[in-house]
Each structure stands twice: as C-alpha cells, then as structure tokens.
Amino acid sequence: MSGKPKLYYFDGRGKMESVRWLLAAAGVEFEEEFLETRDQYEKLLQGGSLLFQQVPMVEIDGMRMVQTRAILSYIAAKYNLYGKDLEERALIDMYVGGTDDLMGFILMFPFLSAEDKEKQRAVIVQKATSRYFPVYEKVLKDHGQDFLVGNNFSWADVHLLEAILMVEEKKSDVLSGFPQLQAFKARISSIPTIKKFLEPGSQRKPVPDDKYVETVRRVLRMYYDVKAN
C-alpha cells in the first residue's frame, strides 16, 4: 500500500463523497481507484477486501476499511477533527448522525424516476428546513461560536457544510431563513483546505449524472427501480 489513503468507489459521490470531504478538510492527499466494471468489483470480493461485500473501501495505515461511518470516525480521530473529550465526541456524533439522516434523503435521488425526483426534491427541502437546519441554527445562535462543537473545527462542521451544499443544489435559496447557517457556510467555506476542495479541478465530485447511475447499476447489478422516501 502507498503512503496515501486509497479510495475504492465509483467516479461519483455516493457514500464515498463524505470521505473525500473529510480527508480534504484534514489536508490529506488521497488516491482513487474507480469501479467501472463488474469484474473489478468481483475481484475485490474474491480477494476478501470487502468485509461485508460492499463499497466504499479505503486503504489507510495498512488497513482495508469498510463501512462509511467507521472510515469517517477513524479519519476524524486521526486528524484531530473529533473533539477534545468524550462529551465533545458525543456531540459531534449526534450532529453528524442528524446530517447523515438528511443526506439519506438525497443519496438515492439520482436513481429515481423523473416523477419521483420532483416529489423527493420537495421532501428534501421540507426535511431540511423543518427538522434539520433549525437544530444547527439554534446551536450556533445559542453558543455564539464559529463552529458547532467546542469552538474548534471538527468533522461535524465538514459534514454540515457538505449537506448544506447538497440541499442548495435542490433549492438555491434554502438558507434564506437561517442567518446563522448562512454565516457558518461562509466561514467554513473560507477555511483554506475546504476552499481548495471547493475549487474547480479538485477531487470533489459533481452532481451525479446518468453515466454515474448507469455505472453503479451495471457494477452492482441493480435491476430494480429505486423508490422515493
């Protein structure tokens, strides 16, 4: 294994995008191997690399890690983005968990029919503005600090910015009623490592297109229609 973490996934967002975000936020360079054929996937399966027979998979520090949450937790702890004590870690876990729930409404969006996409778009915006964004708006307002936990940059901040930008792709003015989150977005986006990741030419993936959807369906043999939440 090389010195850089190596990511095994499709050439698109999916569950690996949060890993890319967190590594980038930590200023860590990484390599990627994109799955484009079923044979590539079968080779990983037969080689025993995929513990639960699924990707994402990341080679890091001599390990082959699977399960997205485990990968993210390890990276956050390794690069001091996981709080200074158990209490801060618990808060980070709660906030990340909430953001994950919101992202879950978006993850399968590219695989929906055109009709279901319009329904799901409304669900995403409704959930973001009524359930999730109000929580983070209140947290930032109540403690008056720049970051969500302990006034230090953490995994929770990275994850929330990723989610905000994803929801804005569905409704550009979704933060219009959330002044604290507007300021938060501007602050976190200006952090040098984040700013670099947001620039053209980075390893950040674009909005999933039909090619990405077709590749995932072919490699994973997804022969069924995904339904909206």
Q: CA 10, 33, 76 angle in degrees (round to 5)?
A: 85
CATH number at residue 176: 1.20.1050.10
Q: Quick check: is 99 in a domain?
A: yes
Q: Answer whether residue 227 is part of any domain.
A: no
What b-and-e string marks burial along 40-67, b requiring 16 or more CB atoms within 10 Å of the CB? ebeebeeeeebeeeebbbbbbeeebbbe
Q: Are residues 101 and 166 in the same domain?
A: yes
Residue 226, in any domain of the structure = no
Q: Say if residues 106 and 124 touch (Cβ distance below 8 Å).
A: yes
Look up the CATH number of the domain holding residue 64: 3.40.30.10
Q: How many domains does the chain have?
A: 2
Per-residue pLDDT of the chain (229 residues; tens, 9 = 90+): 458 999 999 999 999 999 999 999 999 999 999 999 999 999 999 999 899 989 999 999 999 999 999 999 999 999 999 999 999 999 999 999 999 999 999 999 999 999 999 999 999 999 999 999 999 999 999 999 999 999 999 999 999 999 999 999 999 999 999 999 999 999 999 999 999 999 999 999 999 999 999 999 999 988 655 666 6
Predicted TM-score of the model (pTM) = 0.95
The answer to whether 197 and 25 are in contact (CB under 8 A) is yes
Q: Are residues 75 and 105 in the same domain?
A: no
Q: Which residues span the domain enclosing 177?
A: 86-191
Q: 90 and 181: one domain?
A: yes
